[in-house]
Structure 1
Amino acid sequence: MNVAATISRKADFPGLVTPAGKPWHYLDSAATAQKPRAVIDAVTKALGANYATVHRGVYSRSAEMTLGYEAARRRVAEFIGGSEDEIVFTRGATEAINLLAYSYPDKRRVLLSELEHHSNIVPWQLAGWDIDVCPLTEDGRIDLDAAADILTPDHAMVAFAHVSNVLGSVLDAGRAAELAHGVGAKLLLDGCQAVPRLPVDVAALDCDFYAFSAHKLYGPTGIGALWGRSELLAAMPPWQGGGAMIDRVTFETTTYAPAPQRFEAGTPAIVEAIGFAAACDYVANIGLDAIHAHEAKLVAMTREGLGRMNDVVLFGPDESAGIVSFAIDRIHPHDLGTILDEENVAIRAGHHCAQPLMDRLGVPATARASFGIYSDEDDVAALLRGIERTKRIFG
């Protein structure tokens, strides 16, 4: 039995059907993943029969929901090899990176790369860091040889994507950590595209911070996490104030709760945390090694099919993780995306919140197909048929 037939779980995902009951070839998982029934059911139950606030109620349902919420924190931590006191729940990876950029006490220089998502560029600018930029190799990887030449003891942070959201290229995180630590800097990995596709163990990666979101991991929107080494989180001041993050408040002074609670002001995303944990369970039950092999096969099929078209330019390495970006001569990616939609094929078209990378590639935009647990050979075939139709339309 082939890998794709073994892994594809379309029946678990009620969103993968059009209103007319036809298959929907969803190839935009890098933007957001569809939700399995297990996650939908967990969220429905948490929002209904189990719902109550957390941390404040003395009644039994609040106590039970508090236990469930903190169990979700433990599950998310376990999913990446961390511990519960190292997981800060945030609104997503964007907020996680903003939190770090603003709250990290040693704001000096940060080294980014040319392929970073805007959410790993703009927060550093707004928080007042000095930014250096690492170039890419010819095949679209972060050039760590160049990083070694750029890094100095003036750098307090290195912030790289673990997997590029445009090119699918996978960072050699171990070497990045070695280089960062060699000059006394800390390493943040943007793990949004990695956690749904690769086994992640923050201890083995030797990073200092790891940011990721739930919605790309088949979980709810509106929640993500910042993992940080406990001693580093303990040294960071809060960046938002309100309820839940305090120890004692007077009009004269306020003392704060320990990390991670000091970074979670206000009523948290209770229901979303429950769904986040359910998504971790769902993915873990399938196995990330199997998911990676499944997506690698679909990437290879797609790149092979596109490679047979003389007017198609492929970007990124051949062994990209679950993502294929490309451009077609004389056809704007937005036009391609519109015509593919008529064929019930959904791709991403645009700059993918990575305008500096588009400048580096010399294009205004790319078309991007990205895969998930539910993707299969039929989706690849539909994509290739739709591209051929688009090319005929444009002559």
Structure 2
Amino acid sequence: MSHYKERTEKNCLNCGTEVAGHYCQQCGQENIIARESFWSLLTHFVYDITHFDSKFFGTMSQLLTKPGKLSLEYIQGKRNSQLNPIRMYVFTSAFFFIIFFTMYNAENIGKSDSDKKKEKLESLKLARDVVQEKPLLSANEVERETAQRVLAGLEKDIQTIEKEISDKKIADSIRSEKGQEILDTLEKEGIKVPGDLKIDQEDQGLNINMSTDSSNDAFSSSNYESLEAYRRMQEALPKDKKDSWIKKIFVTKIIAASETGKLKGERAYLQSFLNNLFHSFPKMLFASLPLFAWFLQLLYGRRKDLFYSDHAIFTIHTYCATFIFLLGSFALGALQDYTEWGIINLLQVIITIAVYLYLYKGMRRFYGESRKKTLLKFILLNILSFFMMMVLLVIFTAISAAQAINPGH
């Protein structure tokens, strides 16, 4: 029942038909006063939100606890008490991918800890060079003193990461068969291998340039070429010398563009490709949805009482439930990063199993076949889905490669 006030006139404002009741029998528009007070709009808004919440949580509860029942009731016509499947998919998928892209960065795909340390080292070295060449040479005494403190901190961090990388190289070399043979030979000769042995000498030099040339003015923060240098300088400068928060927003964007060009260089294409592919996952899943429903139609082709749209409804509900299960797995992963509880790994495995069990139970309830037939079709459906995702992955990989070559298109 609407909370808007009904008009005394009986002509429909939308189509002009004489209205016999509260709604126009011709177009279905509600015969209410077109102009409402602010309070009326507010109360109706609150009502719509709370009404949506009650329907949303009721639908989600049934979706997760009774696989296949929601889809079965929908095709039977029981729809007023549940969310529209398309709206549910849009909402759950949007929420899922917002969380997904927030938690997982495309730039870290395929990178080992060693790669990340090397990138961090490059960033710190660039920051050191910028501080040495610019604010350290400033005519402003406060800025020079601040730059000296910042430079000392950068040097310390650089040395720490260089030692970690060096130790890792030594450990990897020793673990190798050839490295072990060399180590055994040295030990037999009574030669002790130093713990701080440098593997890659050219990577160890700090190359500190303490030139005394200085500019006449304090260095402009917009000319920085390193976010790390800018951030550390801003943290160390006195309050009255720091940039305003508005200026920081614009400056960091400018510096980020410059730094990306300096650090990534030849990696720009690969990174663009991975980023395009990473952000193609929502499109890939959306493209897989009608194919998944088609597989169900093939497997249940003898069911003449079911249309393709019915299989699509079941597919949409299954996808929505899967998104929610995966969000739970993401939450557990984030919790593990803070707690390092071993049981969380077990819970994530249980969630993975629950996704497949959910699909099986859903198929069993929705299609109403025996356990044996449902299990056989469940296995076939997963095999078909696997090959489908492989084909879609190849297609979207090709698209991502083309977009990386022609980013403007």
TM-score w.r.t. the length of structure 1 is 0.21
Larger radius of gyration: 2
* Structure having greater relative contact order (Cα 8 Å, sep ≥ 6): 1
